Amino acid sequence: MKAAAARDYREMARRRLPHFLFEYIDGGSYDETTLAANREDLVRIALRQRVLRDVSKIDLSTTLFGQRMNMPVALAPIGLAGLTARRGEVQAARAAEAAGVPFTLSTVSACDLAEVTRGVKQPFWFQLYMIRDRGFMRELLVKAREAKCSALMFTVDMPVPGSRYRDYRSGLAGASGALGDMRRTFQAMQRPSWAWDVGLNGRPHHLGNVAPVLKGRTGLEDFFRWMRENFDPTITWKDLDFIRAEWTGPLIIKGILDAEDAREAVRLGADSLVVSNHGGRQLDGAPSTARALPAIADAVGDGLTVLADGGVRSGLDVVRMLALGAKGVLLGRAWAYALAGRGQTGVSHVLQLIEAEMRVAMALTGVTRVSDINADVLVRS
């Protein structure tokens, strides 16, 4: 199968991954209404076609947090991404580096901070959850500083994990012990390419950043138990003081959907926020990013840098998000599918597709610079 668009990699991932892993990446929470709305609301946004303008020189470059980027795109943090391809986060980080865009390493990645640092030459971003064990959080932040991470992305929309029915149906969650292991092993055996590349040759199979606190427990049920026990539902805005005391670099707050929360992030000195509903994986029924973004961008003005994710599968989608008020866009499933389908090559290809599609969309809407993409490129109803 040859991928002509980023969304084609979804089918490649479905064919290659064990069922439980594909469902983990592909699924959302509850009835997945927010998951579906992320795509549906975004693709319904009409772009305003303009003609007879000189669009011979199009510049996609931008700067975020002092870092020059070849285009206003970054790879979002994806938990367990390293299980979709051999040492997967390293492959994705290399693809991002080659494309001149940031990569964000998840707290719950297979490859830890040190391994990804060894695999690339440029700094990357690190994503962190609020964890009950503040001492362990400090250790992670020290490691992020030692890795020279250029930004910290603090995820705030997961005080408790959302209920993801697909994970229970597939056997990823809720199937503990020997029975769960047998079910997942059977699914892996049905995907011999993945079993050879990742299952056998992609070891060690553990969550590198949290391995010290798991103390040798490497099963998937151990991971989900750790999540339930260690994510902190007591978190408030005051906890940002703890983060700021331990981290002096750019701070990005991920998981904002409400304008008042966005204004609070400004008041407390965040450098950036990500308008995000966690890819439809947390509160089902929450608004899509495309619906929430304009009001949040208006609420904060130039107070901080607004980023967005959710449902982005093309360069046109990136342009839509920028026109709605974002200064940069995070790719999530788009790169996870590509990593599963073709490894680093697939992620590189998706980024090439996004860039090419952005160039066409900008030319046909009559803009030549990223800074010129605003509400004027949208069809007003």
In the DSSP assignment, the letter for residue 197 is I
Neighbours of 39 (CB within 10 A): 19
DSSP β-ladder status, 104-105 and 125-129? parallel
Specify whether the CB–CB gap between 38 and 277 falls below 8 A. Answer: yes
Q: Is the dihedral of CA 282, 284, 286, 290 positive or negative?
A: positive
In the DSSP assignment, the letter for residue 238 is G
CA atoms of 190 and 19, how far apart (whole Å): 9
Residue 278 is a catalytic residue? yes
Q: Choosing from 19, 205, 206, 278, which is the catalytic residue? A: 278
CA atoms of 126 and 8, how far apart (whole Å): 28
The SS3 assignment for 160 reads coil
Specify whether the CB–CB gap between 336 and 84 falls below 8 A. Answer: yes
Specify whether the CB–CB gap between 162 and 30 falls below 8 A. Answer: yes
Contacts of 342 (CB under 8 A, 6+ apart): 3, 9, 12, 349
The SS3 assignment for 348 reads helix
Contacts of 265 (CB under 8 A, 6+ apart): 253, 256, 273, 300, 304
Helix then strand then coil, % of the chain, to nearest 5:
50, 10, 40
DSSP states along 252-310: EEEEE-SHHHHHHHHHTT-SEEEE--GGGTSSTTPPPHHHHHHHHHHHHTTSSEEEE-S
Specify whether the CB–CB gap between 54 and 307 falls below 8 A. Answer: no
Specify whether the CB–CB gap between 342 and 349 falls below 8 A. Answer: yes
DSSP β-ladder status, 67-69 and 62-64? antiparallel
CB burial of residue 339 (10 Å; 0-12, 13-18, 19+): buried
Residues marked as catalytic: 278
